[in-house]
Amino acid sequence: MPSETILVVDDDATVLEFCCSVLSRNGYQVLRAASGQQALHLFGKGERFDMALVDVMMPDMTGVELVKQLETLEPGVKVALTSGYSPDEVSSLIGQDGSSYRIFWKPYDLRIFLQMIRNVLDTPQRVTVAYACP
């Protein structure tokens, strides 16, 4: 049974509760945040997680803005975005910034949702490489 910790960030209380409940019932430890600021506050308090599942559109900051801040604080963090918007709407809302992240589409098929979580967790950490200019 899994023992990883997943940070779930969604401003929709129903979706947040659903995701946290499903993940908990399937053996994951769960941290929940209803906003990007709340997620950053948890991180600032020393909470650590193996993966962040972040809603694309939230009132205080977009999911991509939050993820970029998390990646600055914790390089290599594993992330997936989630959205109820259509792929075209998400593309126009977040542009190319979000294209490098996995996106889970709402509503979730439970089996596929859990498999995608597992896939993200099992993916090797992303490595950022900086190149020096001569």
pLDDT at position 1 is 59
pLDDT tens digit string along 2-20? 689 999 999 999 999 999 9
pLDDT tens digit string along 20-32? 999 999 999 999 9
Q: Using the predicted structure, report yes or no on whether residue 91 has a pLDDT greater than 80.
A: no
Q: Tell me the pTM.
A: 0.86
CATH code of the domain occupying 5-122: 3.40.50.2300
State how far the Cα of 73 lies from the Cα of 58, in Å rounded to an integer.
20
State how far the Cα of 5 lies from the Cα of 117, in Å rounded to an integer.
11
- Going from N- to C-terminal start, the domains of the chain cover 5-122
Q: What is the mean pLDDT of residues 36-60?
A: 94
* DSSP state letter for 123: S
**Mean of all residue pLDDT scores within the chain:** 87
Higher pLDDT, 130 or 58: 58
Q: Using the predicted structure, report yes or no on whether residue 132 has a pLDDT greater than 80.
A: no
State how far the Cα of 12 lies from the Cα of 2, in Å rounded to an integer.
26
Higher pLDDT, 118 or 93: 118
pLDDT at position 13 is 96
